[in-house]
Chain A
Amino acid sequence: MLRLEGISAGYGPAIVLRDLSLSAAPGRITCLMGRNGAGKTTTLKAIMGLVRPSAGRIMLGDQVISDLPAHRVAGQGIGYVPQGRGLFSELSVAQNLRIGLMARRGDAAETAAIRAEVLTRFPRLAERLDQRADTLSGGEQQMLSMARALCLRPRLLLLDEPTEGLQPSMIEAIRQVIMSLRDAGAAVLLVEQRIDAVLAIADHVHVIENGRNLEDFDAAALTRAPERLRAHLGV
């Protein structure tokens, strides 16, 4: 579904991604791993159109999304849960969800149905609809960030270290959500630093270094030789 073909991208004169290629398939969890500064977050930003590739192209199905204006990328069915959650801090829970629902551009009935579905999945948010996002706990903020992305009913979900700084019960809850999305047929591209978490859920792993492809693993290879992945990450 998602294909990055020879992407180069960066910030002004600083080149971060160099001829990077990777893919994420429907119904599979693809993990993107690498040491700090390897270009994982920049890869997700490039997919979302927030960083413009200087070379290569990004395809979603048959469509080249790297040519679209950045604000039209989400409308193709891509949900984004950024590092640090990226919530609209001074807006309420309901308003953050409304922004996600607006991106979906569905009719009133569909919008109401998606909202109800998301709040059923995250009942703690339903109790805090009028609360400002920046007054939620860390775990609740992460739930809101995921719920907002799910408001698009994404066929591709990008997650940038969604379990960072969370307590184990919350990590497990988020893992369950990711796996249920995979089971529902969505493609999931997950940036994750914790190897144990990756080994538990990944169907495929891309390891990158200095913005370049280093090695790819499928689930069987990971099970057979996890130490090779650890060696790449220096842990």
Chain B
Amino acid sequence: MEFGPYLMLAMLEGAVLAAVLALMASGLSLTFGVMRVVNVAHGEFYMLGAVIAWFVAHLVGGGAALSFVAAAIIAPLAVGVLAAAADITILKRIDYDPERTIVATIGLLYVIQQVTLMTYGPDARPVEPPFNSRIALPWIEWGEGGPSLYFPWGLSTTSYKLFVIGAAAVLILAIRLFMTRSRAGLIMRATQLDSDMATAFGIPVERVYAAVFGLGAALAALAGVLIVPIQQAHYLMGGDALLLSFIVVIIGGLGSMAGTIVAAVLIGMSDGIISVFFSPTLAKIIATLLVALVLVFRPQGLFGTRDR
């Protein structure tokens, strides 16, 4: 294949990763932005979303489409409720102290991971996508008669991958509208800006924290549901996703949703392109190097503010 079509193929793979990463990292960024805590268990909520999707696919009959829709509803709800319960029973009791929250969520990470290993097992298991037709993509050829379209061999994607990109974009837009237009979003933003004043104006901050922790986890679970027909569900799949999410929120600026989206596109696309042309390991090395450079030269991230 020529360079141009090959690059387009790599960018499409990168766009799928960017879409899922944006969704997952938005959850992490939301949690940090409102609660000022670092949730190390966030990757496990992503993994749980994928594993629950597998269970739902095997328990619900009626075809891949129905089980996918069921998983997309059940997994985020179940994981969101689990995370809110973890917030109330663990994080609230340690008063959301930043250092102790990191240790507590590391503990939560291992508990979720090991319980999944004991119940789901060590195998990677596939989930059938709701639809998966192959779509050949055109490329422009410049001939003597001017530009013309042709379909290079191997330049194709699937309808499901395009759906993942579109669904993530719609969900991120929905989060944005929820945060800026809804009463609940206003309460969350007020809590983020000044939790003491929010309390002084009748906002039950601890309940807001539980809701935000649950919502952040639900977004990670939804990302897991979206990715599982492409990557398979495995009890260790949360580790890489967590690393990439941290890279994204650090580059974008901790707590900045806009920065998170931009950084997810940057990291996802570069990961896709470098993985296709060179190797996935090199992609991770470059992303980690980028984080180091951001931490040295712009510690608040691309869109973050210094006074946070």
Residues of A near any B CB (own CB < 8 A): 48-50, 69-75, 80, 82, 86-91, 95, 98-100, 102-103, 105, 148
Contacts and interface: CB of A to CB of B under 8 A. Distances in A.
Contacts, number: 62
B189 interface: yes
B205 interface: yes
B164 to A, nearest CB: 32
Interface in B252-282: none
B64 interface: no
A148 B198 CA distance: 12
Contact of A82 (B187, B198, B200, B204): B200
A159 to B, nearest CB: 13
A148 B202 contact: no
Given A99-B190, A102-B183, A102-B202, 7 more contacts: A50-B196, A50-B199, A71-B205, A87-B197, A90-B189, A90-B193, A99-B198
24 contacts: A48-B199, A50-B199, A69-B204, A70-B200, A74-B202, A75-B202, A80-B200, A80-B201, A82-B197, A82-B200, A86-B194, A88-B190, A89-B193, A91-B186, A91-B190, A99-B186, A99-B190, A99-B201, A99-B203, A100-B201, A102-B183, A102-B202, A103-B203, A105-B202
A103 B202 contact: yes
B287 to A, nearest CB: 30
7 residue pairs, one from A and one from B, having the closest CB atoms = A103-B202, A103-B201, A86-B197, A74-B202, A71-B204, A88-B193, A70-B199
Contacts of B194: 86, 88
Contacts of A91: 186, 189-190, 193
A41 to B, nearest CB: 12
A74 B186 contact: no
Contact of B201 (A69, A89, A102): A102
B194 to A, nearest CB: 6
B196 to A, nearest CB: 5
B199 A49 contact: yes
Contacts of B186: 91, 95, 98-99
A88 B189 contact: yes
Contacts of B199: 48-50, 70-71
